[in-house]
Copies of this chain bind each other. A is one copy, B any other.
Amino acid sequence: MSQGQISPSFYQPTAQELSQVRDMLISFPQRTPYPWLSQLLGHVLGEGGGKMLRPTLSLLIGKCLGYRAHLHVPMAVAVELLHTATLVHDDAVDDSPLRRGKATLNVLWDRTTSVLVGDYLFSLAAELAANTGNMEVIKLFAATLMNVCNGELQEKSFSHRIDVTREQYFSCIDLKTASLFSAATEAAALLSQAPAGSVQAMKNYGHHLGMAFQVVDDILDFVGEEREMGKPVGSDLLQGTLTLPALLLVERCPGGGPVAALFQGQDAEANLEKAIALIRDSSIIEECYAVAQGFQAQACQSLQVLADSPFRQALLDMADYSVQRQR
């Protein structure tokens, strides 16, 4: 988290466990015998990860359903590693200069290094998942990586197309984003040896939370401050990705309006500005927030199987945060 940002309340109940997760993440660079790899891992994991939402989810659910530190901590680390690996590969292929406010491996070294470090992080995550000794968790990890790749490939296959349906959009964000959230929550419930109903409820919670989170991400791409978001407004659209706000705009404009023009390569700057203005000045953002709130509500409903506790409250707070956050 950046300086000056107030730490959301949901971090508090598992603050101690979260610092164990951070310590483990920070320990990897020191544990490799190869100095350069150590330096690379230090750069990516040095400060112990980003927002740490996914590991926090795992820890909170572990606390709700039966906490086993020797399983939940490494699993939370594995979830964060898998997430970080996908970010490193995203940066590698996008040639992104910045991530989490720091120069990417691409900039400091090169694309080859980024791809290899991403691969290495996958293998570290796989090793930690294997170390849980829980076959369901191991299979879940493999399936999750498969889902994330599928989601990103699907998104790519929709690139610069204005005929993407809401169903296709939801399927995409389910695969590329929500699948990792639900893996974090489902795996935690499995490691607690929770009954099947609770495992399913936690999986549902993670799924809906992830959906809300991504819809809001896509909203913030249009209404966020460039300074806060660390990327220009409308960057998804500029890259040819039709997220929910743009999709709703296309639905309202016969022929696709400025989005269609932009995707056809006509006067990018003017059409992007026009699209952003139309989205901001309409009820589209409100409508998108209503969609996110729908997912949030379903996430909260899934938590009804849990007894009341500060951990359950933190999970509710997290669902709230997924919609309220400004970055």
Contacts and interface: CB of A to CB of B under 8 A. Distances in A.
A122 B93 contact: no
Nearest to A148: B119
Interface in A24-56: 32, 34, 36-37, 40
A90 to B, nearest CB: 9
Contact of A119 (B111, B131, B149): B149
A126 interface: yes
Nearest to A120: B149
B115 A92 contact: yes
Nearest to A35: B157
Interface string A99-116: 000000000000111011
State the majority secondary structure of interface residues on A.
Answer: helix
A121 to B, nearest CB: 9
In the complex, the count of this chain's copies comes to: 2
Interface string A133-163: 1010011011101101110111011000000
A127 interface: yes
Contact of A142 (B89, B130, B148): B130
A123 B149 CA distance: 9
A268 interface: no
| Top-4 shortest CB links A-B | A123-B145, A126-B142, A93-B112, A120-B149
16 contacts: A36-B153, A37-B154, A40-B153, A89-B119, A92-B115, A94-B112, A115-B118, A116-B149, A119-B145, A119-B148, A120-B145, A120-B149, A120-B150, A123-B143, A127-B146, A130-B135
